A = this chain, B = another copy of it.
Amino acid sequence: MENLVDKSQLLVKLVLNAWDTQNKFLQELISSLTDEQLAGEISPGRNSGTYLLGHLVAVSDALLPLLGFGPLLFPELEEIFLKNPDKSGLQKPEIPQLKLMLQEVNQELAAHFKLADEDEWMSRHMAVSPESFINEPHRNKLNVLISRTNHMANHIGQMTLLR
């Protein structure tokens, strides 16, 4: 039984490590780019690095309420980076500000992740009802994190083109 507890713990840890790894890649990438490079488009006529950075901050921020950890830190990002595309004409925060927001969101998430045990990760996320969760136990918090990790990897692949 000890061994089985350890097994679940290790499995959860693998997923958390993958999240951290992608965040480290993102951090290294944006540190390696000038603000001018980051403001550029990933390919002619496509999304700017600024938009993708803001989009990733907004998606990570949205994990706080979705995982039941608390309210959004930066609710103003939703309209600009989630509900509208890059060329919406909405004013975006400056790049240095977005970088600070990324740090704050990641610190907040890390503090909650540190306290969550396997049972919490296996519990339902806030967008699924307790009734639905009985038959769909895969719709848990860890699954959200797996999906957001892949989402981040997807956009990091695009942002590497800013180099």
Contacts and interface: CB of A to CB of B under 8 A. Distances in A.
Interface of A: 1, 4-5, 7-8, 10-15, 17-18, 21-22, 42-44, 46, 118, 122, 137-138, 140, 142-143, 146-147, 149-151, 153-158, 160-161
Interface of A is mostly: helix
Contact of A14 (B4, B5, B138): B138
How many copies are assembled? 2
A146 B15 contact: yes
Nearest 9 A-B pairs (CB), nearest first? A154-B157, A157-B157, A43-B43, A153-B153, A4-B4, A11-B11, A150-B153, A153-B154, A157-B158
Given A4-B5, A158-B157, A150 B18 contact: yes
